[in-house]
Structure 1
């Protein structure tokens, strides 16, 4: 793995940890972190009340660039991964599913609730 790729991987892991701690502080409970499924990886799956928040985390030099980094194709992949996650898990399947984004730039963070709807 190149140094650039290693650095991007470290930045991504740091952003995911930052986002995780931020959401926990806002009252979300963790369901899964960095969950690899046969159809894609879910960065964070968090629960708050009757909402299952599927969270895509993006770290970029600016919050606007982070927002632009999430493609429609990526949201579709996340939707398939959530379908896989909830299949056979009635406790999760009965919750309202919401697709959120957490955008990170340095120590700035923005939680975008309901960032995408299927």
Structure 2
């Protein structure tokens, strides 16, 4: 497996641990609908939270969350709509980004951006 995949999995695990420590209840990880995916689906109080996790070794080039562009937002919006329909969810939906900077075995920095963006129309 490519090293960037290992770092990505590690980052998603760190993000999930962080969210759980902050009172979120993880209900799904790596939900897929064709080529679209949602890294983490969680419940925070009375809200369904769709979480995009971005992991980078360092932020020298750009902050990890800056990699969430319009195309990614559109794909997340479509995936979230499908998830909500498929699971008969009847609660507000929020889109968060969790960025993880670091490498496995070393220290990491986590930045949680709540309500990071509004979904695009679908």
Q: Write the mapping of 1:74-93 to structure 2, written as runs, cut at 5 A.
A: 74-90=72-88, 92=89
* Map of 1:108 onto structure 2: 109
Can you give the 5+ residue segments of structure 2 that lack an aligned partner in the other structure?
103-107
TM-score by length of 2: 0.86
1:72, distance to aligned residue in structure 2 (A): 1.1
* Map of 2:20 onto structure 1: 24
Q: C-alpha distance in 2, partners of 1:14/1:89?
A: 27
User: Greater helix percent: which structure?
Assistant: 1
Q: C-alpha distance in 2, partners of 1:68/1:49?
A: 27
Residue of structure 1 aligned with 2:59, choices 43, 57, 62: 62
**1:49 maps to 2:52:** no
SS in 2 for 1:52: strand
SS in 2 for 1:116: coil
* Map of 1:8 onto structure 2: 4
Can you give the 5+ residue segments of structure 1 that lack an aligned partner in the other structure?
none
Across the aligned residues of Structure 1 and Structure 2, the Cα RMSD in angstroms comes to 1.5
Deviations 1:1-39 (A, max 9, x none): 6xxxx1100000000000000000000001110111135
1:88, distance to aligned residue in structure 2 (A): 4.2
Runs of 4+ deviating beyond 3 Å: none
Q: Name the count of aligned residue pairs.
A: 112
